[in-house]
Structure formats: C-alpha cells, structure tokens
Amino acid sequence: MIAALALLLTFQLAGEALRVALHLPVPGPVIGMALLLLWLIIRGGPSVPLKDTSTTLLQNLSLMFIPAGTGVMLHVGRLADEVWPIAIALVASTLLGLIATGMTLHLLTRGRRQGESS
C-alpha cells in the first residue's frame, strides 16, 4: 500500500513540477493524473497493490471533503457577500458546459451519419 501511495504521489508531484516548469494553466494533480493514465496504458493496467490502494481511497473519498466543508463554513460571510457573482458564474458555467456537450454530440453524430452513408 505504501508503494502504491508513493506512486500516486510521485505522479502528482511530477504533474505539479511540469505545471510550474512550463507555466501551464492546468492544476498539477490533473497533469499528474494524465501522466498516470499514460503510464497505466503503456503498462497494460494497474498492479494489484495499486488497484487495492485506489479502491480504499475511493471508498473513503467522503472524508476528503471534510476540509473543504470546513473552509466553506469558515468563509460563509464572504460567500454571502458575493452570492450574486457566484450564482452567475455557476449558472453560466453550467450553460456553457451543456452547450459544449451538445455541440460536441451534434458534431460527432453528424460525422457518424456521413460515414454510414458513404
């Protein structure tokens, strides 16, 4: 389990190092997760200890939200002061996500229909 955790943290660290070195606008853990995905594809899948460790982490994922919930409660006054910008940002990002998903689906299905008619 310790080796698997070390592997996961190594990929997170590598992602963070790449983000800082290349001045990327993507969070380091996301880059590390992409690197881990590539590594798992090359290896042909995760090892048994990595599967077990990942399963354990996912089963206890709800515990990871306690610090975030505490932070929200700590800054509830600031959230109340900025409720309208937050609400507008949430609604706008949701709509943009829906539009992007719909357009992507439309383009993919249109391309599929053209491929079938050929």
pLDDT tens-digit series, residues 73-100: 888 888 889 999 999 999 999 999 999 9
Pairwise CA distance, residues 76 & 85, whole Å: 15
Do 61 and 13 meet the contact criterion of CB atoms below 8 Å apart? no
Q: Which residue has the tokens 């505490």?
A: 70
Torsions phi, psi for 47 (to 5 deg): -80, 170
* H/E run at residue 48: helix 48-59
pLDDT band, very low/low/confident/very high, at 113 (cuts 50, 70, 90): confident
The per-residue pLDDT for 67 is 83
The per-residue pLDDT for 38 is 96
The per-residue pLDDT for 42 is 95
Pairwise CA distance, residues 53 & 63, whole Å: 15
Q: Over the stretch 38-80, which tens digit does the pLDDT of each residue have?
A: 999 999 999 999 999 999 999 988 888 888 888 888 888 888 8
